[in-house]
Amino acid sequence: MKRILVVLLVLALLSTLVTSVAVAQEPVKLKAVIIKHPLTQELSKMEWLKEAEAIAGVDIEWQEISADWDQVKSTMFASGDIPDLLFNATVDSDYATFDGLFENLAPLINETDTPNIYQFFTDHPEAKTLATMLDGSLYALPKYQRYWPNVATSCYINQQWLTNLGLAMPTNWDELEQVLIAFRDQDANGNGDPNDEIPMDFLGYTGSGSPGQYHALMLLGSTGIQMVNFFQDGYFAEDGVVKSVWTDDRYKETVKYLNKLYSEGLINPETWTNDYSTYQSVARGDGEYAKVGITWGWEATDRFGLTLASQYTALAPLKTSATDTRDVRVEYDRIGLNYDKNRVCMSALSENKEAALRFLDTLYNPEFGLQILWGGMNDVDKCIAKNADGSYTILAPASANMDWGTWKWTMSWADLGPIYISDSMVVNLGTDMVDTLAQRAIYDDYVAKINEKKDLYVEMYMKLTSEEQATSGINLTTINSTVLPNLTAWIIGTQDIDSEWDAYVQYLLSSGLQENLDMRQNAYDNWLSTLQ
């Protein structure tokens, strides 16, 4: 009888153990929202992401958003009902505005539980500093993608059109205007139709409703303004003083020039209604004939497609006139391109924080960092190969009709992901990145003269208190709702910038802009004090 009881007891224990193992192996259900690029395919098609979920032991229900996130966000956050994880979905002010909604990750990161994140912060303490709030809280993890250039945007001009019309490369705004007029009137693409050329095209507004890196306001560098990282809400530094582009006379000068071009029919009238996809397709022309003379983009094949890319070359920064002696600048983006904060955060109300953190740490494995940026390293995604010597090769697009840039943004989260690429990894870059770096060489001399302690206002490094973040966010809403409509109206000529300028400046300063500048000056001074 005793033997029978012992056997039954052992069987019962084994049954419990088997059941426990089965339960432990069952993936943990999580919910996540991701704000992704419009080109990015459905996440269910990404094999690398399935592998990451399997390694972490999670099964994620994804909500994928590519537009109108600000409207969705305000309702979601106000309700307090947010998913376990939020990718590319928050800004610093959210943590103050919705206090208690997001998990402070700082005490959860350690060598045992989150070895990949821990190693990331060990190798790049500046990334941890970037993500850490003034009080030591860390609500969202940053990224580091290592390979990106000093300048994000190239201004491209159709060299073949210049050759067709016997024109020289413009060196200032006056010459640029004359080139654009010739593009408009003289059948520059040579297809027999003198009316199908678009002299200048740019992306009027990004999905967030603000000027971005492909806006013609990049011409601000001609006036001597040193912009950094895609406008950063209009803030810049000059001789150690934080200023706003939106109230600077040089901004007015640039807008008036763009209004002149628009009034002469030299700017695509649909630039303010075209989304990014349309913006790209217009520049890719019709068969062998290009449609656009001058525009802004990341890399030639990405902007113009494989057929037309060879017609274009990067245009050096322009003076405003032959007699202008101001120091011409080019926007500096290396920090903003390779680092960013707020890539992913966790709900403080999540019932599965351990599993959610395990998934995040899996993503910060450098091999997954490569795949988040360029696509999967497997036989399904076919984006990256791991070589016998331990190095990696970024593969050409598996789709013959797709350029490198479009392929990357389709197959991965690309630059919007929570990325850590170790400096010790050996990566053979794709043709697009090699060409991107080569096409930026024209800007090297302009980058070399930047003085970090006088010229660079890097918004992401500026630390504000929770109260300042909340106040700044409220002020920014008012500022943007004033700046952006006026910018469009002044360029297209439905409003007159000269008669409205003084009142506009005064209104902005008294409606929160001066308060924001004062807060940022203090944060900027504190940041300067940390520089060697």
- Classify residue 231 as left (phi > 0), alpha (psi -120 to 50) or beta: left
Q: For residues 280 and 301, is the Cβ–Cβ distance under 8 A?
A: no
Question: Which pLDDT score, from 0 to 100, does residue 96 have?
Answer: 85
Question: Which pLDDT score, from 0 to 100, does residue 19 have?
Answer: 39
Question: Which pLDDT score, from 0 to 100, does residue 466 have?
Answer: 81
In tens, the pLDDT along 272-304 reads 889 888 999 999 988 789 999 999 999 998 899
What's the CA gap between 417 and 144, in Å, rounded? 10
Largest CA distance in the chain: 108
In tens, the pLDDT along 341-377 reads 999 999 999 999 999 999 999 999 999 999 999 999 9
What's the CA gap between 283 and 155, in Å, rounded? 13
Per DSSP, the residues of 273-318 read T--HHHHHHHHT-BTTB--EEEEEES-HHHHHHHHHGGGEEEPPPP
What's the CA gap between 310 and 160, in Å, rounded? 9
Question: Which pLDDT score, from 0 to 100, does residue 309 have?
Answer: 94
Nearest to 62 by CA among 49, 75, 77: 49
Residue-range domains of the chain with CATH:
26-149+338-429 (3.40.190.10), 154-331+441-530 (3.40.190.10)
Q: For residues 295 and 278, is the Cβ–Cβ distance under 8 A?
A: no
Question: Which pLDDT score, from 0 to 100, does residue 189 have?
Answer: 96
N-terminal to C-terminal alpha carbon distance within the chain: 80
pTM: 0.79
pLDDT one digit per residue (tens) for the chain, 532 residues: 455 444 344 444 444 433 333 344 799 999 999 999 999 999 999 999 999 999 999 999 999 999 889 889 999 999 999 999 999 999 988 998 899 999 999 999 999 999 999 999 999 999 999 999 988 999 999 999 999 999 999 999 999 999 999 999 999 999 999 999 999 999 999 999 999 999 999 998 755 556 888 999 999 999 999 999 877 889 999 999 999 999 999 999 999 999 999 999 999 999 988 988 899 999 998 878 999 999 999 999 889 998 999 999 999 999 999 999 999 999 999 988 999 999 999 999 999 999 999 999 999 999 999 999 999 999 999 999 999 999 999 999 998 888 888 899 999 999 999 999 999 999 999 998 999 899 999 999 999 999 988 999 988 888 888 889 889 989 998 999 999 999 999 999 999 999 999 999 999 999 999 999 999 999 999 989 887 6
Question: Which pLDDT score, from 0 to 100, does residue 358 have?
Answer: 98
